[in-house]
Amino acid sequence: MDDSKQAFPVPACTEPNGDYVGSFPGMTLREYYAGQALAGLMTSHNLDEIGPLVVKNCVDVADALIKELNTEGK
């Protein structure tokens, strides 16, 4: 599974005064997808029900999505 792609990377940039700021890799797609799955669950569940197992399931959903996207078109 290739989860090395980044979500929302920022290329090297400079401040308006010319100072170099650098680049930022952003979060991994795995982190982004897991966060999106968790956000979706939080809209339909009691927050007291969100525990480690639910969070692990969100990561599993992210992994499954990345795996499917990597096999798409093969």
pLDDT tens, position by position, 8-34: 888 888 889 989 888 888 888 888 988
Exposure letters 10-38 (e unless 16+ CB within 10 A, then b): eeeeeeeeeeeeeeeeeebbbebbbeebb
More confident residue, 32 or 74: 32
pLDDT of residue 17: 93
Query: pTM, whole model, 2 decimals?
Result: 0.61
Burial (CB < 10 A; 0-12, 13-18, 19+), residue 2, is exposed
Those residues with Cβ within 8 angstroms of residue 52's Cβ, 6 or more apart along the chain or in another chain: none
Q: Calculate the average pLDDT of the chain.
A: 82
pLDDT of residue 71: 85
pLDDT-based confidence at residue 73 (cuts at 50, 70, 90): low
